[in-house]
Structure 1
Amino acid sequence: MIKRALNLLTSQSFFLLGARATGKTTLLKQKFSPENSLLINLLDPEVHGTLEANPKHLYSMAERDLKKNNWILIDEIQKLPELLDVVHDLIESKSAKFGLTGSSARKLKRGASNLLAGRAFVHRLFPLLPTELGEAFSLETYLAWGGLPKIYDFKSDLERSVYLQSYVQTYLQEEIIAEQIIRKLPPFRKFLGVAAQSNGSIINYSKIANDIRSDPVSVKNYYQILEDTLIGYLLDPYHTSIRKRQRQNPKFYLFDTGVLRAQARQLDVPVREGTYNYGMLFETFIINLVRYNLEYQFKQFELSYLTTKDGAEIDLIIERAGEKTVLIEIKSGTSVRDEELNTLNSFARDVADSEAYCLYRGNIERTVGKVSLLPWEKGLQEMGIYR
């Protein structure tokens, strides 16, 4: 049994949101015993049908457990967001405590939900972290197959490949088609492949629209769908002016390197050091790792990237209120030449009250100008991100 890093706060009701197969139901079962909780699984057709016909049936289904002050756990709440009106009433009238899992924040919002207006914590669960995997963690395996828990039950790469292919296909059917989030499926189906292939690049909405025979407004909406269904993340450009940030386009990162390779149809392509693909996977891995750890620590840091008109780039910037701004360059190699850090050193001098790190796969720790060159694990630990 893998102990998850998420500290699930239970002093009041909570949402536990996360992409499919990240382990939400398993975490609930670890946290709550059947003796002090009622689990309502909306993936069960009979349960779903009963509550869809009349959401008020939740009152009678939960009555006995409410009298015992038990937790009421509802799995995949986005399938029936209208239940939240009943949940809200039970929290107010009966001081009930609910644990609500979901894989589509978008569906909850469209269901006129306001996430219970502060009456419930909102947690997010992500793929497994290296620290959660412990001795089972291998960087090469993680870059190739990602961190979905089921991946680590399989013994062969063939099983992992088939699983990830099925995951991508199931996601299309269950999250997009079945939930009726979009009406025109063909452009969106093409978009998913383009989004994966351009992972980690600055989004060019017009070019993508031309590629999939759509329009830029629809493409922006498609990216928002991926973010709302917790499949990806938009990394905004850095600028001290919020208005100027909004004029520039973000980058997009899928939430898992295994799913990324499956969506880009690259599962048959070996992940080899020194290739562009390897560097992109390592960058995605580090940026996701930073984001997930900060989320689990309840940090309200701003993450962004920086690209100048001359093409100089900083992979990741972390703005921390009351602390120094962190500038991060990510290198997938095992060695880094001093001249490769010239750009980062230049930015470190220009950005006030900042500290600069280059994270790489090597083992040697050294300082080059204002830049700390560190093995990626050591660097994240030094920043207080990796625990």
Structure 2
Amino acid sequence: MKRKSIFLFGPRGSGKTTLIRHTLPDAVVIDLLESQTFRYYLKNPSLLAEQTKAPLVVIDEVQKLPELLDEVHRLIELEGLTFLLTGSSARKLKRGGANLLAGRAWWASLFPLTSTEIPQFDLLNYLNRGGLPAVYPSKDYGEELRAYVGLYLREEIQNEALTRNVVAFNDFLELMALSNGEEINFQSIAGDCGVSPNTIKNYIEILEDTLIAFQLKGFTRTKRRKAIARSKLYYFDIGVTNTLARRGDILEGSELFGKAFEHFIVLETRACISYARKDVSMRYWRSTSKFEVDLILNDQWAIEIKSARQISDKHLKGLRALKEEGVIRNFAVVSCDPQERKTRDGIFIFPWKVYLEKLWQGVFI
């Protein structure tokens, strides 16, 4: 069977180039971040046909030159070439009318390092540093993160002219980091940033298109309790979130630890679903009467995330309220409680390590 071409998108610094070098040593790599290479193909995209004898052609940062995709399309059709097309932003491709190959290439994502990719994984280290490959092992992870945030603002926003008002966008980035994992209220955010609600919608689109953040939509299929439909916004990496929010050190047992712990479980679940290539939707549920559940996976699992060391009835109110609706099959809490167990009414209590083991084994997806 012929190998399928692939679009591989991941945020800047997530390790796409390193992964290619280590796993595809025989591939021809065309790096469009190199100015000479960029100019070479800018003048004449048809020069790509010179690679017809290559078993695999990698075009790194393909969004820099969307015009190449017409030639990629032609070479897939006529020459049977296989391409790996990587990028750190889908904005120019999605909104610029680029040739997306009409199903001739699969789409895949690369995320920061997950717990399964880090030997001797340390939760507190991860909640402070995040999972960017250059950041997590660094002794100067704070400096690395500040440099990353500056690089993103300079290259992705200023150089690509995604917005003219960089100052307002920077304020927006910091505000969204402070409210990471909270419901998006366009009117309130617009007032705080001094711009219009439509501008905030555009800013959020920029974050999603450049893979810096994603929305978690509300689960609204409950009938007894009216659900809120607003989305939540999560950044793609905990360390980047910490830096933008100027959090300082996250200490075990603190309020910030709880927020970062929830963020970690959401990110880990998202990465697992994507890497397993499963069609599983992630949502959250909140009723107008203030009951809430952090994660809904299809209609199979409702998962509450608590950093508490001992789970008690007060932590189960949201799950029990949702359980009464009869629309979800299984219910669980993921926490720092060391004891795995099941309540009398069928709610699973999973220590976070157990949850991650089961998650990557496919139990929840």
Q: Same fold (TM over 0.5)?
A: yes
Distance 1:26 1:282 in 2: 28
> Which is worse superposed, 284-293 or 340-349?
340-349
Tell whether the 8 Å contact from 1:236 to 1:305 is kept in structure 2 after alignment. Answer: yes
Equivalence for 1:29: 21
Match of 1:213 among 194, 197, 222: 194
Q: Which residue of 2 aligns with 1:66?
A: 52
User: CA separation in 1, counterparts of 2:256 and 2:2?
Assistant: 41
Aligned equivalent of 2:346, options 366, 370, 382: 370
Contact residue 279 and residue 331 of structure 1 kept, 8 A: yes
Structure 1 residue 133 corresponds to structure 2 residue 133: no
Match of 2:170 in 1: 189
Number of aligned residues: 359
Amino acid at match of 1:107: K
Confirm whether residue 50 of structure 1 aligns to residue 34 of structure 2. Answer: no
Residue of structure 1 in register with 2:7 after alignment = 15
Residue equivalent to 2:255? 276
Counterpart Cα distance in 1 of 2:246 and 2:102: 41
Q: Secondary structure at the match of 2:334?
A: strand
The runs of at least 4 consecutive aligned structure 1 residues that moved more than 4 Å come to: none
Equivalence for 1:203: 184
- Structure 1 window deviating more from structure 2 (206-215 vs 43-52): it is 43-52
Q: Distance in 1 between the 2:136 and 2:252 partners?
A: 22
| 1:161 counterpart (142, 162, 167) | 142
Structure 1, residues 42-74: CA drift from partner, whole Å, max 9, x if none?
111111122223323323xxx2x413x421111
Q: Under a length normalisation based on structure 1, what TM-score does the superposition of the two structures give?
A: 0.88
Over the aligned positions, Cα root-mean-square deviation in angstroms equals 2.1
**Equivalent position to 1:330, from 302, 305, 309:** 305
Match of 1:259 among 216, 219, 240: 240
2: distance between equivalents of 1:10 and 1:254?
A: 36
Q: CA deviation at 1:246?
A: 11
Deviation of the 1:209 alpha carbon: 0.4
1:345 to 278, 299, 320: 320
Deviations 1:285-317 (A, max 9, x none): 000110110000111111111111111111111
For the residues of structure 1 that align with 2:364 and 2:119, how far apart are their CA atoms? 13
* Distance in structure 1 (CA, Å) of the matches to 2:96 and 2:318: 47
Q: Helix, strand or coil for the counterpart of 1:182?
A: coil
Match of 1:296 among 260, 266, 275: 275
Work out the CA distance in 2 between the residues paired with 1:252 and 1:353.
Answer: 23
After TM superposition, the structure 1 stretch with the greater mean CA deviation from structure 2, 281-290 or 338-347, is: 338-347
SS of alignment partner, residue 140 of structure 1: helix
Residues 150-185 of structure 1 show CA distances to partners (whole Å, capped at 9, x for unaligned) of 12442x2xx110010000010011111111222222
Identity of aligned residues (%): 39
Instruction: Check conservation: 2:293, 2:302, Cα contact below 8 A.
Output: yes
Q: Which residue, out of 193, 196, 204, partners 1:223?
A: 204
- Paired residue type of 1:66: T
CA distance in structure 2 between the partners assigned to 1:125 and 1:21 by the alignment: 10
Unaligned runs of 5+ in 1: 1-8
Q: CA deviation at 1:114?
A: 4.3
